[in-house]
Amino acid sequence: MGSCLSSRKRSHALSSADEVELLAQFKDLRMSMFLSEADFIKLYRYFLDANVNENGCINLTEFLGFFDLPRNRISKRAFDMFRDDNETGITFKQWVFAIWNFCTTDSSALSIFAFQLYDKTGKGTLDLDDITHMLHELFGRDYESNPLARELMKSLLETDYRGNRITAGVTAGQFAKVAVRARNLMYQAFKLQRAIQSKVFGIGHWADKTLEREELQRTGGLNLQQVLDLVNAGRRRAQGHVVRGGVIMPYSR
């Protein structure tokens, strides 16, 4: 379906001809993201390692297994963030884009990804159920008796003088403002980012690439919209993405 690669058997030991073909096929995408040829080929090898079924799309089980993630709501939501609604799994283009985008996001912008992880239906706001699940995951089943958890609940959901909620949901912007003061909210996103960085290239590699991305965005060398257009090219109904604060994220589902 969609842009999944061919299901033919492939050897992870790519020949020189295979590498040339790969680089030619995805030249525009690679160059728009300022990825070296060597790194791009390595990302493809990682993709092949993860795609155990060799069908060209990484499914949920393969995603969890490759990154050694637990099968829980957060991990499943992360998988959904990597793929497109039209796809049964993560295609190679989505893999390259998502790995690069997530692993080069600095701590100041990580709150956007944290928000996405907790927004389980992709509606663009966190409701009471989302926040309750989040606090349970952060503080355990006794979160209601935890002073910090209660303070976070109060900060996220505005109330009137009688204590009644006056907001229907928490937006990404509101979440980010609270996350600046309460770094606990970004714990799951940070843990996920470290797991992916450790498995693909290593944390040190991505620390350097994050600085490179910041410099490219500062000087205008990195055109995020161009990257998105190339990732979405050829889809019948692309999920679509938006750029917020220099971070690429999917539209609400």
Question: Per-residue DSSP letters for 137-173?
Answer: HHH-TTGGG-HHHHHHHHHHS-B-TTS-B--S-B-HH
pTM of the predicted model over 0.75: yes
Res. 87: pLDDT tops 50: yes
**Kind of pairing, strands 247-250 and 241-244?**
antiparallel
pLDDT, tens digit (0-9, with 9 covering 90-100), for 189-248: 999 999 999 999 999 999 999 999 999 888 888 877 778 777 877 554 444 444 444 444
Record the tokens describing residue 89, joined without a space. 């799994």
Gap between the Cα atoms of 151 and 162, Å rounded: 17
Contacts of 53 (CB under 8 A, 6+ apart): 59, 62
pLDDT category of residue 122 using cuts at 50, 70 and 90: confident
**Is the model more confident about 172 or about 165?**
172
- What integer is the mean pLDDT of 28-53? 95
Name all domains of the chain by residue range, CATH numbers in brackets: 16-106+198-250 (1.10.238), 110-187 (1.10.238.10)
**Six-digit token pair at 51?**
């795609």
At residue 251, the pLDDT reads 36
Percent of the chain topping pLDDT 70: 81
